Amino acid sequence: MAEKKVNYTLLSQRDEAPPPLQKLRGQKRRIWLWALAGILILVVNFTVAIIQSISDEDDGLVTSNKPGCPQYPPLESSSEERQKLEIEVRNELSSDAFSNKSLKKLQGAIQIPTESFDNMGKVGEDSRWDIFADLHAYLKEAFPLVYSRLDVTAINTYGILIKWKGSDDSLKPYLFMAHQDVVPVLPATRDKWTYSPFSAHFDGRYVWGRGASDCKNNLVGILEAFETLLEKDFIPKRSVMAAFGFDEEISGPQGAKFLAAHIEETQGRNSIELIVDEGGLGFKEMYGALFALPAVGEKGYHDVTITVETAGGHSSVPPDHSGIGILSQIIAAIEANPYSANLTPANPYFTTLQCAAEYGPDMNSNLRKAIKRANGSKAAAKSVANYLADQDIAQRYLMQTSQAIDIISGGVKINALPEKVFAVVNHRIAVESSTSDIKNNLKSVISSEILPKFSFSLDAWGDVTGNVSNSSVGRITLADFDASLEPAPVSPSDTDAYKTFTGTIKQVFGKNVIVAPSLMTGNTDTKFYWGLTNNIYRFSPVRDDGRANAHTVDERVGLKEHIEGVQFYTQLILNGDV
């Protein structure tokens, strides 16, 4: 286009009309210039196309014709009889009578302090588990139809497994999950609570207390859904199950692990149609639209112990660097080498962003274009990841592996150099990564930045390098602190189970809600259930302004939002028959 402008400019500068022959030559010259310009434009466009195709090929272009954020419609009643039942149930759950009843049931559960501690012993050996017997007795009293009509089994004493047998054995069951335990209330924080943490105080809007939003609201909500439908003498076609662990807050080794093993043993692998557990990002206003953000995946988990062993000695004649000093340098080197943010289609958060770009009217136009371009370009995806990581730390760790030094120990005497010190690094592993990547990275950082400074050996999970002639004095050891967990398999977002699940969200919370698959940076009890189904969705059905402060002071949940959650569980059970 620039060349055309130049030609026009040059022609316009001729003040005198040429003679006939000169005029003819001028016309021919102009024709040649036009032709040359056209050829140049074609060559440039062709070259750009070739470069772009090569760039895209090198960029790992994976273009999909599928929409970036498919939405499925709200579900509707399959018959007049079913519609009548749904209206009847909806009216009951919306009544003041149900609200009052629901409040008392939720309060009663919160008032039982089922705290789980990191150092809990085995069930039957540690008396701190005994409080769960009180919760069981309460639930049996609060939900008499569940306990009298359904198959309720205690697993490893305090795990609760409920089975509501359906009329059609060809349909795989739905499984609802929640956990009975809550994180402990630190004694030093009790006076900071607006209301006593186990009082379950209701202020007319919120129910306050430890476990109110994580996740006794889900536990009680599921049981309320069961009880409500049992009162209507409803018999599901599809069997419905519930599994309530009791140590989720300490990784579930005695609760969910035993429950999942029992279900797999009695039902078989891949025997469940759909699992809904707590978690996910719930609901969130983003870019001018309301999104429901169920987690279809979880990051992995790996804790690594770093131990430094030195000769020790008297503090009056210290070496230039004590064991604590060397460990501090290791920690500083680790923190100076963070993982980078990355965004690929393997990460459910990639889909979250595609949904935001598709349905968020207030999104910046440049960001929208970049996110859509990321659907076919690694370079564009990387630029989006870097931009969002700089804007918000929460978004950053949806796209990159985190590393946090959470425990450090060393030294017991003010005048004695410690012979052994250690720290524990917690990693939440990005979905594109693995525990082996964590090990290789730590080994690389220490080998390149620490070993050149100190004549130490490095024992990284049995692989010894560095000054291998040394004894344990002058050694750095890397080992697993606890069992590690690879990133969870990503659940599909195009199956019948997903369509029913998301169609129920829209049916209960509004057809304009955008359902966007997302990712959990933490882990739930579902890590033990991977063998039972591919359709695992972590979603707490509580609107964003209806809960606050999980795991900290003044935890609470809105009563109105809690009842809306009961409506969701109830409707999903009904929709399982469709």
How many structural domains are present in the chain?
2
Give the residues across from 306 on adjacent strands. Answer: 423, 478
Q: The CATH number of the domain where 394 resides is what?
A: 3.30.70.360
- Tens-place pLDDT, residues 94-139: 999 999 999 999 999 999 999 999 999 999 999 999 999 999 999 9
pLDDT at residue 470 is higher than 80: no
Check: CB of residue 356 under 8 Å from CB of residue 285.
no
Say if residue 497 is in the same domain as residue 465. Answer: no
Say if residue 133 is in the same domain as residue 264. Answer: yes
What's the CA gap between 117 and 250, in Å, rounded?
A: 7
- Tens-place pLDDT, residues 375-425: 889 999 999 999 999 999 999 999 999 999 999 999 999 999 999 999 999
Query: Known catalytic residue: 463?
Result: no
In a domain, 339, yes or no: yes
Domain termination residue (choose one: 461, 480, 499): 480
Say if residue 471 is in the same domain as residue 516. Answer: no
Selection from 484, 504, 478, 493 nearest residue 537 by Cα: 493
Query: Known catalytic residue: 248?
Result: yes
Q: Which residues are annotated as a binding site?
A: 179, 214, 249, 277, 551
pLDDT at residue 157 is higher than 90: yes
Q: The CATH number of the domain where 286 resides is what?
A: 3.40.630.10
pTM for the full predicted model: 0.86
Domain termination residue (choose one: 480, 500, 530): 480
pLDDT at residue 43 is higher than 80: no
Q: Which residues are annotated as a binding site for Zn(2+)?
A: 179, 214, 249, 277, 551
In a domain, 143, yes or no: yes
Say if residue 503 is in the same domain as residue 423. Answer: no
Say if residue 315 is in the same domain as residue 227. Answer: no
In a domain, 58, yes or no: no
The percent of residues above 70 in pLDDT, for the chain, comes to: 88
Q: Catalytic pick from 224, 227, 248, 525?
A: 248
Domain coverage including residue 460: 298-480
Check: CB of residue 464 under 8 Å from CB of residue 476.
no
H/E/C letters for each residue in 502-571? HHHHHHHHCCCCEECCEEECCCCHHHHCCCCCCCEEECCCCCHHHEECCCCCCCEEEHHHHHHHHHHHHH
pLDDT at residue 62 is higher than 70: no
Say if residue 163 is in the same domain as residue 88. Answer: yes
Average pLDDT on 160-169 reads 97
Say if residue 307 is in the same domain as residue 360. Answer: yes
Say if residue 509 is in the same domain as residue 404. Answer: no
Say if residue 239 is in the same domain as residue 327. Answer: no
What pLDDT does residue 20 have? Answer: 47
